[in-house]
Amino acid sequence: MSSVTIRTDPGALGPPAPERARIIRTALLIRAVEERLLELFAEGTLSGTVHTCIGQEFSAAVIGDHLREGDAVFSNHRCHGHYLAATGDVLGLIAEVMGRSAGTCGGRGGSQHLCREGFLSTGILGGCLPIAAGTALAGKLRGDDRIAVAFIGDGTLGEGVLYEVLNIAALWRLPILFVLEDNGYAQSTQQPEVLAGDIVARASAFGVETASANTWQWEHLWHTAGQAVEHVRAGAPFFLKVSTYRLRAHSKGDDDRSEEEVARFEEHDPLNRIVASDEPGVAGMVADVRRVVDSATADARRSPNPLPHPEIDDDPPLRLRAVRLDGPRFVDSLHEALAAGMRANPDTILLGEDIKAPYGGAFKVTRGLSDDHPDKVLNTPISEAAITGIGTGLAMCGMRSFVEIMFGDFMTLATDQLVNQASKIAFLRGPGADPVDVVVRTPMGGRRGYGPTHSQTLDRLFVGTPGLRVVASNSLVDPGSLIAALCRGGHGPTVFLENKLLYGRRLGETVPHGFTLELSEEDFPVARVSAGGRADVTLVGYGGMADYLLAAADLLFTEHDVLAQVLCPTQIYPLRWRRLLDVLTAGRGVVVAEEGPGFAGFGSELLAQLVEEAGALPARRVVPKETPIPAAKELERDVFPEPGDIVLAALEVVGES
């Protein structure tokens, strides 16, 4: 049997008549739409999946009745009711699930992924919670009374990101309402099997105000929800547990519950009882919502299928110009660019662990910035997933957010927020939508003796994710210019990699004598170092490998009379590599050197595409040994490529021993 119990309270405080009628109609509409979706699925009109909230409608209808224009609602895979209560957009929902152009996201998101102004749902449990917190933070920073509402299920109680967000919401007193819909099951697993302790106590432990209600006493739920929303508008988070029951399967038809259990809840379902009653006006509401659903379904059927994605010419010609770098230290350039960006745009926010004065971040990039911008430079808990998602929420509200992850190895903890959340929002919003300008900065790379979990280069986790830009700074391009471009906005979610060895170096100091540095004319340029544009071999790399390639080019010239050109893109994804074709093939072969693992890495992809386009070309990869990175200096040195390794590979390519 389910852990859910049914309680009645005849004396519950209820809404006035107009609000009562409005709530009942919304609940009826939600049920009618979802029943139609199940019918459409049964007839083969829908593909994918359909997660209905039939039986739970009063949770969405009641909460929605307390919201104002400008409030933001976030949901999960069981989102239809929340969407309809927040927007009333019947056609958009039905057409979206049908995969038609009239859909909320033009058919791109389907049943689980809905995105429009003031609403976002995704299919990862807990994935929206940090984004909701970021939206709440944006409202607080701007001083308005808008709130964020985050609907979650009891299954989300197993996700760690929930507790990261509860902690931050309490610390920063964010105007966010957590609504936990407790239907007693996580898909097919009964709650007692997977959940320990008390649900409400979890939120209370963070100092968050809490309350409990249920959908069978929906009038009392309305009263409780009103108090919760008022509390949040006053400037503090609230956690509302709503006990309820799902009358249909988790998704379509996967239901292992007994018929007797479901029938018992069908009998006590508040909407069923209202429809069966002789309450004035209900029959008219039922007929009205059916007309609305019939009309929306007909319009959705007439809506065309979405057009294929247009081909985008992403290969503008490569225009190189000679430059001379005699600039500041790498870390100083980053610092000054962030300071300038904050002065130019008051909506620029920095988030990270230990980034405020006096510490200023592990590598001192943000030193002193909190003195000038005390409300815009925020120390965060050690909660990489939460702070990354908060940055996304801020960016969705039009702010410029820069999130610092202390070590690149910790990016694994933020991967969901980048790969499954931030990178998908612009896609769901559709062509022409404002970009989500969240930037996640992090140092990567080894050679400093930090050991296996503080020395990795993990860009491969993000390179290849559509909608996510990956920029790897190097010593040949002023990193301040890259940050300045990101401060201007328009580039979307970006992972910004900073090699640890670069922070103390001066820009351009490793360019060999007699070689010229050229940069392409764009926000995230390609750097080429050559001797008058001539080359016997092309050395390619990015990030911290640039200096090792330059050292190898110097050795090749002075000791072997071989001219090498060095090519270092700063934007390593998307890599517009076709425009580099003439440069890559200028010599007798190519050597790609990396600090990260070689298998299925950047070099493999570059050479594979080069072969596809240009045919056979002598090539070698120089990569670290396949082992975790040791802390001992001699062992670590043995793992990473050195200039001599690159020289040997280049000599093999040009046919010399």
Catalytic residues: 454
Contacts within 8 Å (CB) and 24+ apart, 314-317: 314/574, 314/576, 315/576, 315/578, 315/579, 316/522, 316/576, 316/579, 317/579
Contact between residue 556 and residue 564 where contact means Cβ atoms under 8 Å apart: yes
Contact between residue 272 and residue 215 where contact means Cβ atoms under 8 Å apart: no
Ramachandran class of 638: left when φ > 0, alpha when ψ lies in -120 to 50, beta otherwise: alpha
Contact between residue 439 and residue 393 where contact means Cβ atoms under 8 Å apart: no
Contact between residue 112 and residue 368 where contact means Cβ atoms under 8 Å apart: no
**Angle at the Cα of 308 (from 306 to 311), degrees rounded to 5?**
145
Coil, strand or helix: which one is 571? strand
Contacts of 395 (CB under 8 A, 6+ apart): 134, 401, 422, 436, 437, 438, 493
Secondary structure of 381-441 in the HEC alphabet? CCCHHHHHHHHHHHHHCCCEEEEECCCHHHHHHHHHHHHHHHHHHHHHHCCCCCCCCEEEE
Cα–Cα dist 240/212, whole Å: 6
Q: Which residue has the tokens 């004065």?
A: 357
The DSSP annotation for 41-52 comes to HHTT---S----
Q: Which residue has the tokens 């971040």?
A: 361
Q: How many angstroms separate the first and last alpha carbons of the chain?
A: 76
Cα–Cα dist 190/52, whole Å: 18
Of the candidates 154, 66, 81, which has an alpha carbon nearest to the alpha carbon of residue 114?
81
Q: Torsion angle, CA of 248/253/256/259, rounded to 10 degrees?
A: 50
Cα–Cα dist 308/108, whole Å: 11
Which DSSP category does 191 fall into?
A: H
**C-alpha distances out from residue 371 to 54, 186, 202, 359, Å:** 52, 47, 35, 12
Contact between residue 442 and residue 407 where contact means Cβ atoms under 8 Å apart: yes
Of the candidates 174, 151, 147, which has an alpha carbon nearest to the alpha carbon of residue 69?
147
Q: Torsion angle, CA of 398/400/406/409, rounded to 10 degrees?
A: 60
Cβ atoms < 10 Å from Cβ of 354:
15
